[in-house]
C-alpha cells in the first residue's frame, strides 16, 4: 500500500457509530433513529475473527439489516446465503439466527463493508464510498494474518482495489475474478448475495459457495 505522509491521519479500523463524515448518510441515520429508536442506527462495525485470514467486504448496511441489528448481513435476506456458506465451509461455529445475540462466531474470517453507514435505497454516492475508504484500508492493515479478500459486488471490488492504491482498471470486476494485490493478499470477487441477484438467478447458491471456497483456499494456502 502507498506510504502515509507525516501530515496524514490514519483512520481507525472501525468508524464511530455516530460517524459525522457524510452529511447525507448522517441525515438518513437520524431519520431512521426517529422512526425506529430501538434500532442500532449507526456505522456498523466489522464482525469476526481478529486473526482472520479471509476478509469479506460487502457494500453497505441495509436499513433493516445491519442498520437495525448492528452486525453485518444480519437481519436481511443476504445474510442467509452468506452465513450459510460460511458454515458449510467451516468458517463459523454456532447457529446463525439473524440476531446479533445468537452466539455465532467466525473462524479465520471477518465481514465488513465498503461503506459503514446505511445509504438511502442501498446506493452510496462515489463521494461517500471514497470518504469511508480509509476505514477499509485500516481494517485490512489491522489483520496480521490476512491472505485473501472476498469482495461482494462491483463497488466493494473497486473500493478494495483503491484501498490498495490501484485503479479499477487493474482488475475489472466479474464474478469469480481474481487479482493479487500489492500487499500480496488475493482479491476474489463475487456477485453480491442480494435478494435481487438470487431471485433473478444471476447468482445461485452453488456459484456463491464456489467463489467463497476459492477465497478460503487462497486464504489458508
In the chain, where the domains are located:
23-219
Domain 23-219, what fold?
Uracil-DNA Glycosylase, subunit E (3.40.470)
Each residue's pLDDT tens digit, 107-166: 999 999 999 999 999 999 999 999 999 999 999 999 999 999 999 999 999 999 999 999
What are the φ/ψ torsions at residue 214 (nearest 5 degrees)?
-65, -40
- Each residue of 13-60: pLDDT tens digit? 999 999 999 999 999 999 999 999 999 999 999 999 999 999 999 999
Question: What is the distance between the alpha carbons of residues 92 and 54, in angstroms, rounded to a whole number?
Answer: 12
- For the record, the C-alpha cell of 141 comes out as 492493515
* DSSP type of residue 91: -
**Cell numbers linked to 25:** 448518510
- How deeply is 177 buried, as exposed, middle or buried, from its count of CB atoms within 10 A (0-12, 13-18, 19+)? middle
Task: Report residue 6's pLDDT band, with 50, 70 and 90 as the boundaries.
Answer: very low
Q: Burial code of 64-85, b = ≥16 C-beta within 10 A, e = fewer?
A: ebbbbbbbbbbbbbbbbbbbbb
Q: Hunting for cell 440476531 — which residue is that?
A: 99
Long-range contacts: 176-182, Cβ < 8 Å, 24+? 176/210, 176/211, 176/214, 178/214, 178/218, 181/149, 182/1
Cβ atoms of 168 and 150 within 8 Å: the answer is: no
Amino acid at each position: 500500500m502507498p506510504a502515509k505522509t507525516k501530515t496524514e491521519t490514519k483512520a481507525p479500523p472501525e468508524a464511530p457509530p455516530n460517524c459525522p463524515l457524510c452529511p447525507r448518510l448522517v441525515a438518513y441515520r437520524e431519520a431512521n433513529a426517529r422512526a425506529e429508536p430501538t434500532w442500532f442506527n449507526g456505522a456498523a462495525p466489522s464482525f469476526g475473527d481478529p486473526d482472520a485470514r479471509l476478509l469479506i467486504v460487502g457494500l453497505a448496511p441495509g436499513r433493516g439489516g445491519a442498520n437495525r441489528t448492528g452486525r453485518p448481513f444480519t437481519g436481511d435476506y443476504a445474510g442467509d446465503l452468506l452465513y450459510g456458506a460460511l458454515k458449510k465451509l467451516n468458517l463459523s461455529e454456532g447457529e446463525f439466527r439473524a440476531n446479533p445475540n445468537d452466539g455465532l462466531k467466525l473462524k479465520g474470517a471477518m465481514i465488513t463493508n465498503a461503506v459503514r453507514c446505511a445509504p438511502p435505497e442501498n446506493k452510496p454516492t462515489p463521494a461517500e464510498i471514497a470518504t469511508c475508504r480509509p476505514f477499509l484500508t485500516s481494517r485490512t492493515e489491522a489483520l496480521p494474518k490476512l491472505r485473501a479478500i472476498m469482495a461482494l459486488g462491483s463497488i466493494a471490488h473497486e473500493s478494495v482495489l483503491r484501498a490498495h492504491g490501484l485503479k479499477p482498471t487493474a482488475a475489472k470486476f466479474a464474478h469469480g475474478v481474481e487479482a493479487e494485490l500489492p500487499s500480496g493478499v488475493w482479491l476474489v470477487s463475487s456477485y453480491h448475495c442480494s435478494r435481487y441477484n438470487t431471485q433473478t438467478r444471476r447468482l445461485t447458491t452453488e456459484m456463491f459457495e464456489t467463489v467463497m471456497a476459492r477465497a478460503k483456499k487462497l486464504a489458508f494456502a
